[in-house]
Structure 1
């Protein structure tokens, strides 16, 4: 599941829409869903649009893994940070990913632990 988390973060960090679409097509289920306190998206295209909107809102920010993932039964939870590269994250969140039978990302449930005021 470490590879799943790495692929997930690579998808979120990709600013090139065509590359992001290729990652979504390869590593995410067709009807994958993403839900956090600020967004809900179903399907690869909608998730790609959501990721693009985050890049628009936070240009130059990158997602980094915080700590080690905890996984069992096709699901993994992990903490991430978002901020300028090489600095302490401005935003910290916690995601749970569930994979399908092919090991693709199928469901993402996101939580925000630290958000600037």
Structure 2
């Protein structure tokens, strides 16, 4: 059996419906952040096997607008760990389902904290050595 040294990762797909958009027909920034935070939560929960909470979002960049009817794929990867924290990078790619055209639309970093049963920060495993 071979062990993978790939970074822990989670992938999600979402569809942009009209209720996710603003008056211009593009994805609300808050909705994009919510989906990114959800992806960060999932990968951090899987890595820690604990309850996790968001401590911080950092350097979120909205590169191109995402239109109503597009698909978005979110890829979240743990890129670093501390004592109880996990740094997660999230990349959101928009896809036109009719043409297949794909573009990275939003990127950001999140810091997630693992909690014990009392709600206190608790240690997490380090990332495997590359």
- Scaled to the shorter chain, the TM-score interval is 0.3 to 0.5
Relative contact order (C-alpha < 8 Å, sep 6+): which is higher?
2
Larger Rg: 2
Q: Give TM-score scaled by structure 1 length.
A: 0.37
